[in-house]
Structures are given as structure tokens and as C-alpha cells.
Chains A and B, each alone.
Chain A
Amino acid sequence: MSLLPPSESELLHSAVRELERRATEADCLTAVRYFPAREARYAAFPNWLDPRLTKMLEARGIAYLYTHQAAVLEQARAGKNVVVVTPTASGKTFCYTLPVLDAVLKERGARAIFLYPTKALARDQMEELNQMITEMGDDGAGLKSFVYDGDTPQDARRAIRTQAQVVLTNPDMLHAGILPHHTKWAKLFQNLKYVVLDELHTYRGVFGSHLCNVLRRLKRVAAFYGSNPQFICTSATIANPGELANRLIESPVELVADNGAPAGEKFFLFYNPPVVNRQLGIRRSYVSETRQVAVNFLARGLQTIVFANSRLITEILVTYLKDACEKSPHAKFRRGGAPSPNPEGPSGIDVWQEQGGWNPDMVRGYRGGYLPEERRTIEKALREGYVRVVVATNALELGIDIGSLDVALLAGYPGTIASTWQRAGRAGRRSGTSAAVLIASSSPLDQFIVQNPDYFFGQSPEHAYIEPENPEIMVNHLKCAAFEIPLRDGEAFGQANMPELCQFLTDTGFLHHSGEAPNGSWHWTNEAYPADAVSLRAISSDNFVVIDTTGEPNVIGEVDFPSALTMLHEKAIYLHEGRQHHVERFDYDQRKAYVKRVDVDYFTDAISNTRVTPLEEFAREGLRIGAAAGGVDRVHGEIRVNTQVVGFKKIKFYTLENIGAGDLQMPEQQMHTTAYWLSLSDAFLQSLAPPASSDDPHPYTPSERHSGVLALASGLRGMATLLLMCDRRDIAWAVRDELKPAFAPDIFLFDAYPGGIGLSEPLYHLHHRLLEQTQKLIEGCSCDAGCPSCVGAPGNSGERGKEVALAILTRLREREQISHDHAA
């Protein structure tokens, strides 16, 4: 045994071995993949790069670029739009800062806009950029870059508008604060050379569909001032970065995907919590398993980030891990006495050990809703090593600088392959060893992934879809566009049918046509400021503030509108930094919730009701069920969805027992969206009979048929998110059966956003594969009567749900088989 204390790498290897040993006993590690370190590939600085830049880089000790950075520089110099795919820690910032700084050094008037999906990222990157400018010394004198967002002080704004060569902002501010006031930004738009879109992959679905329209407006305004900016985009690994960039900026884009950055060795483990009841398909809670796994790494002093998929789970894990630190008997670390890795002074871990090792303060939460200062404090403590575990939502998935961590734990499958790699990449930077562990929940998607590791490791990550022609989104941006600059006759805006739309906006009092066609234009004639009515991210731009009234009233956080209805209803337990607050009053009109600190052993989970009404059908096809009349139809169309939070459950920590419930009357929410649905006739359902293999030969009762339909809907939805490779929150399901005399239900899978984001139409076309894969999922599950991993536990769907669901699928597939044979 060596007398030297173990290195971080050895500690990590030992933690992984320990996990393997324990997991093998319970048979719950389904994959252990090892990714060896990757060598860097370098390229020389291009000879045209401004010498003031190369001097600054060399002073930093950088003598070469990575190959992908050099490739982006050449494309940008050639005047091309470019998108570079950059995994975490591959030096993506240089990909756009170098071409832009080169441009503004050579031509002082040149300007650029950097767009980041969050305010926090813009602040982070401004510091990085200003650092580079400072390091250039006199060479960089006079270069100015500023963040311009909702937090920018009023008195600083005028100077930024006229002086900043580089403006760092977010799409929301561009949309509501900059474009509608473009005359004040004349200098910027006259000289706009580059637009940078960082974290391009986040611009998908609703956000991406909005952004595409915002960029149309940006290009219109730039053209008004005679400029035509080039786009440089960075993206995490997704299946179609080039296509996404092309759809967003609507111009040809060069793709740079060959990453030349080095990476340290890495373990990637899949962990499936052990089964505790096979018949019911019940596994141990993935949340408490995550706690166990985290402690394994924590005990070795390895800095860990835990990703949770919801704010609630984030807070529960913070509570669990703080508890673990408080109660743990381990007070020392094997690293005691190690030479400090930082010759300048004690590292975070040393200081922490001096303070006595385990203490609850080394565990912090991080999610949307924490106030900005609180977040900055946590980020800094992470970089400095004082905080050893951070439990985060996707708020930390993007490039906020929190230093390099040793371990990433993913509590639950993040929903997409891209996001899984992105989160895993938060551990480990360019050298050394790191580990990522995915701990599966019992949801069908998690179970599918964790039991089929080859599917995950062999599959390319998801496609990112946008639907910029969504009528509601596009019309709202057309209003903004007309406000900014009158729409000329014959002018195009995306693929919009401009004459029809302009006429519509005239009839509704927003536009007025002036001048003689075809040389006239449409002008804004409304007092409203149209950008205010459009939120780029959500159904509603509203936020609720949470006011702690335990002592002096004090705002402790903000919650977005859809979450507020489930997190802040009266009697809810609102968790913030692991502290529990009881919601005393929920003021819907004022968008406020008043809470008081409490100490209870439970949390709350809201129950909502969903009602669906079909409005229009775009396509319908009858699936022939033999010769019998009446059958099953598949439909693509538009629906109205009404949802309402009607109650809540109280759930005990650790045991997750249901220990009470309450009724609620929350305001009903309504949206229109697009859907794919299956219409099942009464006759079809009556015709189902138990298979010969069934334990119970009795014909299905109406209530069993009902259970089967619910079970099938739940299974279809799980498989749909996998087939479309979209986020699970993007597709919702509902069953409608209450309106008919006989039991002839509709099963809806719908886009969970108003107007739809282009997911239900592909589902309609993928119908056959959807049925086939869902059948495989249910057949392949070893449970007896349904479990959370296939069609939901029997308690959720009802008696014989799994059997009936399978019977429906089998019958549909049989008939399809026959008709396919006939066709052939």
C-alpha cells in the first residue's frame, strides 16, 4: 500500500469499483462503459488572424487552436454562416469570440450581437470576453462589450446602445427591448457584422419556433439599415445541428462537427434500482437510490453534481443529502494530509476538511426560481470547491462556469439522448478521470433506456424540431414586425400567406394599408406594444412571486405560471433550498403566494384533470378491422385542452406513503393544440376476447375495457416520446369517453403547447411503428398486471389493464398484418 494519499483518479476508480461490487449483488448495473481519454488535435493560428489576438493567446500559453476552432475561423472569414458542434469543455467560446474580435480589431466600427438562451449565460460569457479584452492591454483599449438585458440599469442603457461593439443579450430582450426600438440602436444595426447564437440546441420546440420568427425580424431590421449579418452558432451534440441552424436562420449554413479538443477518461454507468416486488413491478425509489450513490462518491471527497428532472425532486434530493451529511458518522477523508493541489493556497476541499468534513452546507440546490445573487454564490462556491454536491435542474445543463466536477449523477433519464450527454459532460473536463451515472426511474422511457443500453450508446441523439409557421406564433411576430417597420406590399415573412394575414390583421384593427398597391405598405394602428403580448418561452409570460411571511415579508423566489398552479396552491408544501414552506395564501390575480416556514415530514403533489375536445380534423383514416363494420380510426387534427388542478396528495418523505389529500379549486387553463388520436368504436372493444393463454377466461367487463384503454394510452405516450426523441414534457396524453352513450373512447397524444410544435403530425405517420413498438414494450415487461415501467401500475389504470391493452394492440396489429398481406 502506498503511503501517498490516493489521487482523485484513484478515488474515482475505487468509487466505481465499490458501486460495481454492491450493484452486482443486487443485479442493478445494466451498463458500465469506459471511454478512454482522447488526444487533442491542433491547428496553427491562421496567418490572417489579427496579431493582437495571437499575442494575447500566446500570453495565455495558447500556441495552437483545436482543429474545429480553426475550421470555424476559416468559414467565418469566407463569409459563411457556420454552426459548430461542441461537446462540453471543447473551447467553444473561442469559436465565436476570435472571429468577432478579429473583425472589431480590424474595423473598429463593426458590431456583433451574442444571443444566449439565459441571462446567466450572457453574464458568464461577458466576463470571459472582457477578460480577453483586458489581457490585450492597450491593443484592446476602447473595445467594449456589454450585457443588455432586463437587469441592465436604465442609466447605462443609452451608452450601451451607442458604444458597445459586442452586445450580449437573450432572445427575449432582443424581441421586446431592442427590435421595437431599433432606431435607438441605429449604430449597431448599420454595422452589424455577426450574430452569434450560443447553445443552438436549446432553440427547439416552442422556443425555437419563436426564435426563428425573432430572427426574421432581426434580419428585416438589419436590412433596413443596409447590413446583412453573418451567423455563428454553437450547438451541443444533436442529430441535426446543420438542419436546425438552417431552419432557424433560413440561409445556408456550414457545419463544423469534427471536434479536436481532448477529453479525459470517463466511466458511464447505468443503474437500475433493484426490484422489490416483481409481480407489481415495483423497484426501489430512484430518488433514495440516487442519495445512496451520491454518498458513495461524496465519501471519497469527489465533487458531484446531481441532475433532477423537476424542481420538486431537486428539493427532495437536497433534503435527503443534507440529512445524510448531518447524520453521517464519517467525519474524515482518506485524503487527509494530501498536498494541496493548488500551490497558491488551500483548495476548497482542504478548507472544508478543516471545518470538520461533513456538514449540510456543502450540499446546495440550484434551479430556476432561486434569486440571481443566490445562484452566483453557489456557482462561486462550486468553482472554489466549498460546495461538494450540487443538486440541479437543467438550469445547470448549459455552459455556466462551475469549474470541473468529478461526478455527474442523473436522477432519472433526462428525456433526450442529447441532454443526457450534455449533463454527463458536466463532470470531467480536459484531463483526469470522471464518471457519470444514470439512475433510472420506473417510467417506461427510463426503463427502456436502462434495459437497452446499446440503444442509448449506439443511437445518434435527437433531432430538434421547430415549427415557425405555427399560426399563433407567426401572427404574433408579424404584428411585432409591422410595428418595427411597415410591411411592404409583396414582402415575404417566412412562408406566410401575407395578403390573407395582413387583411386579417387589418380587420382586427391592428394594421392599415397606406399607399397604392403594389407600392404601398401595412402600418401598425394599435396603441398596444405588440412584443409585450408574446412570451418566447411559455404559454403565459406571467411569473408568481413567493413571499415568505415567517418574519418580515421577504421574496424568496419566482415560479413560472404553469408550475405555480401545481407548486404554490394553498396548503402545498413549497420547498426552497431544502427548507419547507407551507403555502398560506395563493393570490391568483396578484400573482403572489404567501408562505410560512414549517417543519413537516411530507411533501405535496398536485392532481390535475384534463379534458379534451376535438375541433378540426386534418386527416382521418379508418383502420379496417376485418369485414366488421365500425372499427378504429387514426386522426390528426386540432383539439382544445382544458386542465385544472383539482386536488393534491400529501406524501411522506422516504417511505413515499400517501398520508392525506385535499380538494382544490384552481382556475382552469385552456389551450388549442394539434393532436394525433385513436378513435375506438364500441363494437371493436366488444369484440375483444381474452386470449387462450389468459388466466381468466371470462369476457372483459366494461370497467376492464376502460382500464385497458387507460393503460394503452399511457404506454403509447411513453413510446411516442422515444420515437420522436422529444422531451417527455412535449407530449401529453388524455382519454375522452364521457360524451358517448356506449364506451367508445378516443386516446389523444398531443403537443403540450398552444398551436402545436409539429409533433403530432409525424406521430400520425408513424402510427404503425408506434403500435408495433408499444406492443413490444408491453409484451416484453415481466410484470403480471402492469407496472410503472410499461402501462402504469394496476392501481392507476385498473383491473386487467395490461391484458386488455395488449389485446387491443394484438387485434389491431393482426388486422394490419392481413391488410398489408393483401396489399402485397
Chain B
Amino acid sequence: MTTPPSASLSRALERLRVKWQSAPVTPARSLPEPPPKPAPPDPEVPIAAHAVYSFPSDHRHGKSLVRSIAACNASPLGVDAPPAQWAFLDTETTGLSGGTGTYAFLIGVGVMDDNGFHIHQFFLRDFCEESTVLRELSELLAPYSVLVTYNGKSYDAPLLETRYRMSRLDPPHEAMQHLDLLHAARRLWKLRLQSCRLVELESSVIGYTRVGDVPGEQIPWRYWEYLRTGHSAALAPVFYHNRMDILTLACLTSLVLQVVGDPSQRSLEYAPLEAADLVGLGGWLGKMGRWDAALDAYERALAGVLPAEAAARARWESAAIHKRHGEYERSMTLWRELRTPAAAVEMAKYFEHRAKNYPAAIMAAQQARDEKRLRRLERKAAAAGA
């Protein structure tokens, strides 16, 4: 077959254009409204491929002090290198879909030294600069041995790996230890907060409120607008957004490590954990095998104001720890308070196997509606009676 006459290509393209424009959702054109016009005094952002912003040690970010980052000890999380060897990293990208067509157009890296916290921002002024930018990033990262991110294990790290492979370069972070704070944050704050997005923790935990931030879904659009027009004003909030993400990540890391280092929070300048968060902390400490600290966290949680679900969890987990250590009396107290079928089963087990008190076990099994156990207990009771 021959190709259609060449004039028809333009017609075909025109029809495609109409079709794409009428298509229900194509993100590039589907912004509900254009981003707000930057206020008149907003200058064009000076566009550099590499810029550094510093926050002195006594800078306060919400309730956090920048200095505290330097004092971090991450050995409870298996990271032995001191904070001076950590690089906090966050990327701004052209999309969330993944794949080789998604670019990291802004890569921010925060590092700590005696003078304060310094954020390096590597910006892709145009795609053809990508390998240069990546090489510079590698150079910067070379002395650091720990990469700290927020959701970076599933997002930033693979994305950067793809970018490096596309430029035929070796990714610098392959050799680094990777601490992804998302998992820690989820453990601590999931019970209390609607979401564990970084900006949510920033306002609820660190107590900082951003001014002039940009919604994440607008970020790619603003970059393309810059590429098309060369105007950079719309990018200023994006740079700010990236810096705040990194500063918050560093402060949050410090907070999390302080809490894990001193679960009683007695030595802390301010207590970032509320009652519900203490239940999450207890769970985490339990996973680490720090039973006493976990019990202490649950106890303090139960002394505070707790949603019913969190309270039940604190009692159930505490009871499990006590049981583990043979402290059945303590467990029994908590199971009695719980009044759930699962707790009744535990009580029935205790009466049956430990206390050998079959009538009590039968009552508990009835409460639990555990028919199988009930039948067995009735047989045992009959045998014991006979």
C-alpha cells in the first residue's frame, strides 16, 4: 500500500489536534485555571544550574532549630555515620507516571556543617544540560555516605537511576546507605493525621506554615511554561517548595531520631508526639524489641486523651508484651478492660492453660463465642469434675 497523499497528513494532524483538545483529560491542558499571575514586584528568578541557600545554625523552622540536625544519632535505625555525612535529597519532576520520559528538573540536596544547613539546588535550564547537571550532582554527593529522603525508595531513587542511565552515567546513590523517612513518619503519625504527606507533618508536627507555596500538581506545568517562554517568575515558588521540603525533611529526621533516642521525650525541647502518636511509637519500639520503652509509651498514651481505636490498640499491644514476659496478671487487667472477642479468647486461654480454671474459661469462651473452645472446655470440665 502507498502512503496517503502527503497533503492529508496536515489534515490528519488537524483532526488529531481537535480530538486531543476535546479529549476529557490530558493533564497538560486540563489545569482548572492558570496559576495565579505572580504579583508585580516578583522578579524573574535568577536561573542558575547550581545555586546554594544556607540556613544558619540558630535558624528556627517552626518549633525546630537547625542546630538540632547536627546532633542526630541514627544508630537506632542502623545508620552509624554522623549527620555531617548525610545528604537530604528531594526532586521536582515533570510527572508522576515514571518511565524514561519523566525528568527531574530540580534536584535539591541539603547538607549540614558547622555553619548551618546548606541546600544545593540543581536546575535543568534545558534538557540538553542534563548530563552536566547529573555529573555535578555526583560530585557533590561523593563525600556523603547516607542519603535521606521522604518516599525516595520508591520514587526519587529509581527516578534518578533512570536519569543517570539515560545519560550513560553511574548513579551516585547506589553506594550510599538510604534512609527513607516516610516509613518512620507513618509509624508515628498515621493514627493521628489524615495523611503523612511531608507538608502535613510540617504544619502539624513542626508547626511551620508555608507562605506562597505551589500545589504539587502545578509544578510540571510551571516548568514547561518556563521552557516555552523563558520566563522564570512562575518557577520561584517551585524553588521555594523544594527548599522547604528539604529543610522540613531534615528537621523531621532530627525529631524522629530524638524521639527514638529518648522515647520518654523528657530531654526534648518540645514534645512532638501527642497521645495517639505514642501508640505508634510503642508499636515501633516493640518491633525493635525495646519492650520497656514500648510499655512506657503505651502507658503515657493511655494517660492522655485517645481515640477509642488507638486506646484499644495500646491496651492490646501492652497486654501482648506482658504475656510475652509471663506477666499474666497485668495482661489480664488489660484484656478485661478491652472487652473484645479477641481479648476474651486470650482470657479463655489463660484460664484454660495457666489457671486451669475451667468455669472461668467457659465464661470467657462464651463471651468470645468460640464454639470449638467451648466444647473442648466443657469436655475438660466434665472430665475434671468426674
List residues of A whose CB falls within 8 A of some B CB: 180-184, 186, 465-467, 469, 471-472, 475, 482-486, 495, 497, 500-501, 504, 507-510, 512, 514-515, 520-521, 523-530, 615-616, 618, 638, 672, 674, 755-756, 758, 761-762
Question: Which chain B residues lie closer than 8 Å to A471 at the CB level?
Answer: 4, 8-9, 12-13, 16
* A616 contacts B28, C-beta separation under 8 Å: no
Question: Which residue of the partner chain, among A495, A501, A521, contacts B128 with CB atoms under 8 Å?
Answer: A521
Question: Which chain A residues lie closer than 8 Å to B17 at the CB level?
Answer: 504, 507-508
Question: Which chain B residues lie closer than 8 Å to A504 at the CB level?
Answer: 13, 17
Tell me the bound Cα distance from A527 to B221 in angstroms: 9
Question: Which chain B residues lie closer than 8 Å to A616 at the CB level?
Answer: 8, 11
* A183 contacts B166, C-beta separation under 8 Å: yes
* B101 contacts A524, C-beta separation under 8 Å: yes
Count of chain B residues with a beta carbon within 8 Å of a chain A beta carbon? 40
B99 at the interface (CB under 8 A from A): yes
Nearest B residue to A496 via CB reads B9
In the assembled complex, the CB of A211 is this many whole angstroms from the nearest CB of chain B, namely: 16
Tell me the bound Cα distance from A181 to B162 in angstroms: 8
Tell me the bound Cα distance from A674 to B103 in angstroms: 38
Tell me the bound Cα distance from A510 to B95 in angstroms: 13
* B9 contacts A509, C-beta separation under 8 Å: no
* A638 contacts B13, C-beta separation under 8 Å: no
Question: Which chain A residues lie closer than 8 Å to B3 at the CB level?
Answer: 469, 495
Tell me the bound Cα distance from A526 to B99 in angstroms: 12
Tell me the bound Cα distance from A761 to B4 in angstroms: 9
Nearest B residue to A510 via CB reads B28
* B95 contacts A527, C-beta separation under 8 Å: yes
Question: Which chain B residues lie closer than 8 Å to A509 at the CB level?
Answer: 28-29, 224
* B27 contacts A526, C-beta separation under 8 Å: yes
* A180 contacts B101, C-beta separation under 8 Å: yes
Question: Which chain B residues lie closer than 8 Å to A472 at the CB level?
Answer: 12, 16
* B101 contacts A482, C-beta separation under 8 Å: yes
* B127 contacts A514, C-beta separation under 8 Å: yes
* B94 contacts A525, C-beta separation under 8 Å: yes
* B28 contacts A485, C-beta separation under 8 Å: no
Question: Which chain A residues lie closer than 8 Å to B128 at the CB level?
Answer: 514-515, 520-521
Kindly supply a per-residue 1/0 record for chain B positions 1-29, scoring 1 wherever the CB is within 8 Å of any chain A CB and 0 otherwise: 11111101111110111001000001111
In the assembled complex, the CB of A481 is this many whole angstroms from the nearest CB of chain B, namely: 10
Question: Which residue of the partner chain, among B100, B224, B228, contacts A485 with CB atoms under 8 Å?
Answer: B100
20 contacts between A and B (CB under 8 A): A182-B100, A183-B100, A184-B162, A471-B12, A495-B3, A508-B17, A509-B29, A512-B227, A512-B228, A515-B128, A521-B128, A525-B94, A527-B27, A529-B97, A529-B98, A638-B8, A638-B11, A672-B15, A761-B1, A761-B2
Question: Which chain B residues lie closer than 8 Å to A520 at the CB level?
Answer: 128
**Secondary structure class of chain B's binding surface, majority of residues:** helix
Question: Which residue of the partner chain, among B9, B16, B100, contacts A180 with CB atoms under 8 Å?
Answer: B100
B165 at the interface (CB under 8 A from A): yes
In the assembled complex, the CB of B56 is this many whole angstroms from the nearest CB of chain A, namely: 38
Kindly supply a per-residue 1/0 record for chain B positions 150-174, scoring 1 wherever the CB is within 8 Å of any chain A CB and 0 otherwise: 0000000000011001100000000
Question: Which residue of the partner chain, among B20, B28, B126, contacts A514 with CB atoms under 8 Å?
Answer: B126
B110 at the interface (CB under 8 A from A): no
Chain A CB within 10 A, most for which of B4, B9, B11: B4
Question: Which chain A residues lie closer than 8 Å to B224 at the CB level?
Answer: 509, 512, 525
Question: Which chain A residues lie closer than 8 Å to B165 at the CB level?
Answer: 183, 186
In the assembled complex, the CB of B128 is this many whole angstroms from the nearest CB of chain A, namely: 4
Tell me the bound Cα distance from A740 to B192 in angstroms: 71
* B99 contacts A483, C-beta separation under 8 Å: yes
Question: Which chain A residues lie closer than 8 Å to B162 at the CB level?
Answer: 181, 183-184
* B13 contacts A475, C-beta separation under 8 Å: yes
In the assembled complex, the CB of B368 is this many whole angstroms from the nearest CB of chain A, namely: 28
* A500 contacts B9, C-beta separation under 8 Å: yes
Known: A469-B3, A497-B9, A762-B1. A528 touches B161 (CB 8 A): no
Known: A618-B8, A638-B8. 18 other contacts (CB 8 A): A180-B99, A181-B99, A183-B100, A183-B161, A465-B1, A472-B16, A483-B101, A484-B99, A485-B100, A500-B10, A514-B128, A521-B127, A526-B27, A527-B28, A527-B220, A528-B26, A528-B95, A530-B101
B52 at the interface (CB under 8 A from A): no
Tell me the bound Cα distance from A618 to B8 in angstroms: 8
Tell me the bound Cα distance from A180 to B29 in angstroms: 22
In the assembled complex, the CB of B147 is this many whole angstroms from the nearest CB of chain A, namely: 19
* B9 contacts A526, C-beta separation under 8 Å: no
Tell me the bound Cα distance from A183 to B161 in angstroms: 8
B96 at the interface (CB under 8 A from A): yes
Question: Which chain A residues lie closer than 8 Å to B6 at the CB level?
Answer: 497
Tell me the bound Cα distance from A42 to B239 in angstroms: 72
Nearest B residue to A514 via CB reads B127
In the assembled complex, the CB of B228 is this many whole angstroms from the nearest CB of chain A, namely: 7
Question: Which chain B residues lie closer than 8 Å to A638 at the CB level?
Answer: 8, 11
